[in-house]
Amino acid sequence: MTIRRIILEQLTVQASIGILDHERAVAQTLVLNAEFDVHATGPVSDEDIGTVLDYRALRTTLIDECTARHTNLLETLVERILARVLADFPDVLRVRIRAGKPQAFEDCAAVSIEQSRRRTTH
């Protein structure tokens, strides 16, 4: 089986996230890094985007999940993203998401949660 990995790096989104009162008052910047392993069994036609998984759709899904509603915990958001990607993209075999809050603390670049999930059946 041939695997192709699609990588989205440092996708920046404004999201309503956080359990603390001050986090609920204003949207925060999230930085997402994502990897998607997909089947790469068929030939790629340079003239037909339908021969590959269009990464624009993956990007839109990440943004939608981050901005759809308030989420208290970063862990919850990552779980929702993992579940949605596997539900909406049957060619994705494995997904890894790292979501970071760069403004969480002044003394570090970001606080991030990373998790991956594999499709159990395909």
Given this model, what pLDDT does residue 73 score? 96
pTM of the predicted structure, to 2 decimals: 0.91
10-20 as b/e: b if 16+ CB within 10 A: ebebebbbbee
Helix (H) or strand (E) holding 24: helix 21-24
Task: Report CA 81 to chain centroid distance, whole Å.
Answer: 6
55-64 residue pLDDT tens:
999 999 999 9
Task: Scan for tokens 């309503």, then name that residue.
Answer: 16
Residue 106 backbone dihedrals phi, psi, to 5 degrees: -75, -25
CATH 3.30.1130.10 fits 3-118, yes or no: yes
Burial of 56 (0-12, 13-18, 19+ CB in 10 A): exposed
pLDDT band at 113 (very low <50, low <70, confident <90, very high): very high
pLDDT mean over 29-42: 92
Three-state SS at 83: helix
Given this model, what pLDDT does residue 85 score? 98
Given this model, what pLDDT does residue 51 score? 65
Three-state SS at 9: strand
14-28 residue pLDDT tens:
999 999 888 888 999
In angstroms, the CA 110 to CA 80 distance is 21
Residue 121 clears pLDDT 90, i.e. is over it: no
pLDDT band at 41 (very low <50, low <70, confident <90, very high): confident
pLDDT band at 44 (very low <50, low <70, confident <90, very high): low
